[in-house]
Amino acid sequence: MNNVQQLINANKNRLYFAQYNENPKAYPESAQSEGLLAFQTKLNSNYNFLINDTSSDFYGEEVSPYMLTGLGIHYPKLNANDLIEKSSVAFNQWRNIEIDTKYTILTQSLENVSKRFFELAYSTMHTTGQSFLMSFQASGPHACDRALEVLAAGYEQLNYYPKQIDWTKNLGKFDLTIHKNYKPIPKGISLVIGCSTFPTWNTVPGLYASLITGNTVIVKPHPKSVYPIAIFIEELRKVLAEYNINPDVVSMAIDSIENPITKILAEHSSVKVIDYTGGSTFGSYIESLGKVCFTEKAGINSILIDSVNDADKIFQNIAFSISLYSGQMCTAPQNIYISKDGIQTSNGHLSFDECVTGIHNALSNLLGNPKAAAPTLGAIQNQFTIDRINNKMNEMNNNSKLIEVDLEVVNDEFKDARIALPKLLVINADSTQAYMEECFGPLSFIIKTNSYEDSLSFMKSSGEEHGAITCLAYTTNEAKMKEIEDQMNSVFVPVSFNFTGAAFVNQHAAFSDLHVSGGNPSGNATFTNAEFINKRYIWIGNRYLL
């Protein structure tokens, strides 16, 4: 484990840094089979490692998107008042633990989690529908690196002021000396609300940010994606117990789709801080409570194509970006803006229709490769995603043209996997009611605009009014690059330029990329800036006259 100063330097420098290797082959040869066995052992059983006793009721409703069967894992289910009471008792101890001890406990929990990366991969795969490799990377190494990034930021901010000083002011004939101390006082109980598609990557930043700042945490995972974050909670509770600290410093709230507990917890007066990842409607409700909250909500991510060097490379990049995990990523692009006059390439002009054909062909080539198709697409986490897209298609009028990939993708390992191929809708820019809303899942729009200026205007207004987490622009014109960056940044949307090859707009790296700007409707918080840490506690200064 790197020492804290190395992590702080990595956080400040924003260069490539990874504590945990993302390559499964970097781990012991037996690790994958042991992880699979651990996963299989949990199926159809009670997850007994999350409470101090076994007197609780147990409940679970997770279903594998690959097998379309229930996992049969049941988790301890406590009511809201019991969770709050246990967390309140633990808070009285945790808030007084020294920052160095907190840091040690929290980093040790991540080390323990790293020994279960393969179990994490299988648990994520069979709750979210991510491919095995994405599940391994996103829920394991990448999530732990995000947690370390938060801990580094937290440690630095919490040590911003000296713990104590003797303050002296000369008053002529004598000195006035006052002893002063400075304390970061945590807010209280924190509620972290997880999502179904990225149950650890989106959850651990808020979880570890609240813990390092002295708050206790109740994690409320999505009922369909509990197992992955349960591993983190289990390891946290184990290390806390080893240090003779009440393990209820972190607990888990289990509920069901039919009988949710989230609002009860969120509205409870003892809950002072809320982290939320999910849809905009519920996210806006969380923001309306008037509490300290950090939200990541829905947004519409866009691509603008103006001019390129190699059209085939950018079409391939776009095809992969819209296919990865079937578009079930908060960073996945949805709207692709192209002028009716087409684009310029190093090999000449391409018409709008040729661009559409190029993207379609790139999709067909990607998904026609049996080794690449199923791992890229993964599986659809929830049937509701497919139903929603089908309803969207039924709503479309004659102003749009549907382009589908004429292929059948089969997962050889899981024949029943819920798979849906990406769909492209070609549409005129004036049909804004169709594409100016998030269409989560495997559906993208290719939008014909009147000009480059028109494309940029639509992309900017989309980010400002509906929010965006990412934005991808292709242009070889430096003046246009500066204009796009300026215009999109003015509505707090970051831009990625001319991505090809292994650079994909979907991916955000810990210790470097700021995830969500916090300045547009896609969310009010950023992984990870100082505000993400500092709003969780209050600085207090006390004075003693000597």
Number of alpha carbons in the 13 Å side-chain half-sphere of residue 20: 27
**How many angstroms separate the Cα of 12 from the Cα of each of 2, 294, 348, 470?**
15, 22, 43, 22
Provide the pLDDT for residue 406: 87
User: How many other CB atoms sit within 10 Å of the CB of residue 126?
Assistant: 27
Q: What are phi and psi of 179, to 5 degrees?
A: -85, 130
Provide the pLDDT for residue 397: 65
Walk me through the domains of the chain, giving residue ranges and CATH numbers: 4-14+22-297+525-545 (3.40.605.10), 302-497 (3.40.309.10)
Amino acid at 536: R
With CA atoms as reference, report the closest residue to 44 among 64, 26, 27: 64
d(CA 373, CA 320): 10
Provide the pLDDT for residue 49: 81
Q: What are phi and psi of 155, to 5 degrees?
A: -60, -40
On whether the CB atoms of residues 405 and 421 are closer than 8 A, the answer is yes
Q: What stretches of 60-163 adopt beta strand conformation (E)?
A: 75-77
Provide the pLDDT for residue 546: 84
Show Cβ contacts of residue 318 under 8 Å, excluding neighbours closer than 6 positions: 303, 333, 336, 359, 362, 472
Q: What are phi and psi of 513, to 5 degrees?
A: -85, 130
- In terms of Cβ atoms closer than 10 Å to its own Cβ (0-12, 13-18, 19+), residue 278 is buried
Structure tokens at 519: 């300045």
d(CA 451, CA 434): 20
**How many angstroms separate the Cα of 468 from the Cα of each of 40, 163, 175, 384, 472?**
39, 40, 57, 23, 11
Beta strands at 271-277 and 292-296: parallel, antiparallel or unpaired: parallel
d(CA 359, CA 342): 13
Which residue is listed with tokens 């400040």?
A: 12
Which H or E run includes 318? helix 311-323
Structure tokens at 55: 């007197």
CA 290 to chain centre: 23
The answer, yes or no, to whether the previous bond of 528 is cis (omega within 30 of 0) is: yes
**pLDDT per residue of the chain (546 residues) written in tens, 0 to 9:** 458 999 999 999 999 999 999 999 999 999 999 999 999 999 999 998 877 665 578 999 999 999 999 999 999 999 999 999 999 999 999 999 999 999 999 999 999 999 999 999 999 999 999 999 999 999 999 999 999 999 999 999 999 999 999 999 999 999 999 999 999 999 999 999 999 999 999 999 999 999 999 999 999 999 999 999 999 999 999 999 999 999 999 999 999 999 999 999 999 999 999 999 999 999 999 999 999 999 999 999 999 999 999 999 999 999 999 999 999 999 999 999 999 999 999 999 999 999 999 999 999 999 999 999 999 999 999 999 999 999 888 887 667 888 888 899 999 999 999 999 999 999 999 999 999 999 999 999 999 999 999 999 999 999 999 999 999 999 999 999 999 999 999 999 999 999 999 999 999 999 999 999 999 999 999 999 999 999 999 999 999 998
d(CA 345, CA 306): 9
With CA atoms as reference, report the closest residue to 504 among 306, 298, 314: 314
Q: Map residue 187 onto helix, strand or coil.
A: coil
Which residue is listed with tokens 């994958």?
A: 32
Q: Map residue 139 onto helix, strand or coil.
A: helix
